[in-house]
Amino acid sequence: MLKSTTADLRFPPVELASPEGLLAVGGDLRAERLLEAYRHGIFPWYNPGQPILWWSPDPRAVLFPANLKIARSLRKTLSRKKFDVTLDTAFREVMRHCALPRPGNPTGGTWITPEMIEAYAVLHDRGLAHSVESWREDKLVGGLYGVAMGNAFFGESMFSRETDASKVAFVHLVRQLERWGYAFIDCQLSSAHLFSLGAEEIRRYDFMARLEQALKQSERSGRWRFDADLRV
């Protein structure tokens, strides 16, 4: 178990995680620890007032870019070019929106604390965390953020203030990552929403093997931009 006072960045082997995927408790969110976690298929997820909880679920939800599914209604939205989509132009704003209550649950809480926003902003400033933004009439209405290492992208959260705004951002990201040769997008925990976009479940040992190979690939760090022909 991690202790908040220790300087040791190591995590227990992921095989020691509980059946729910909980692996360790405590520590901090400094950049070096976050990066060590992602290198080993681990991510933080906890509620305000709790110690930091570190997870490595089995099975794991992933999306292979070539398997992206675009429903007919979403395809129509894309063809209408309803949103302007950008990369890495409003990282902190995207995280703050992701932290807000969902429209369907206005009284709900969030696991994206101010401490977490600042921690991931450090990774963004280092060119390792990235955001995708959907704009309508210069207003941020949807988006997502995550961490990139090697040729793996670890999706963290998304938000939408208009129908399909986050899905449009996600489709643009997947298309760009596929062009760049990214192996997979880690979606962490399964949901019907992710399955509708083409995500699937794989066993943790399979995920870890794929992650090991992905981390051997060259890293695309710095601020990202869409290729001209993919930018809306």
Q: 25, 40, 57 — which closes off a domain?
A: 57
Residue 47 placed within a domain: yes
State which residues form the domain around 50.
14-57
- Is residue 18 domain-shared with residue 76, that is, in the same domain? no
3-state secondary structure of 225: coil
Are both 35 and 130 inside the same structural domain? no
Q: Is 6 within the bounds of a domain?
A: no
Across the 232 residues of the chain, what is the mean pLDDT of every consecutive 10-residue run?
62 96 95 97 93 96 98 95 96 96 56 94 98 97 98 97 96 97 96 94 98 95 91 56
Contacts of 146 (CB under 8 A, 6+ apart): 129, 130, 153, 154, 155, 156, 185
Are residues 51 and 93 both part of a single domain?
no
Please list the alpha-helical segments (H only) found in 100-140. Answer: 114-125
Answer yes or no: is 67 within a domain: yes
pTM of the model: 0.93
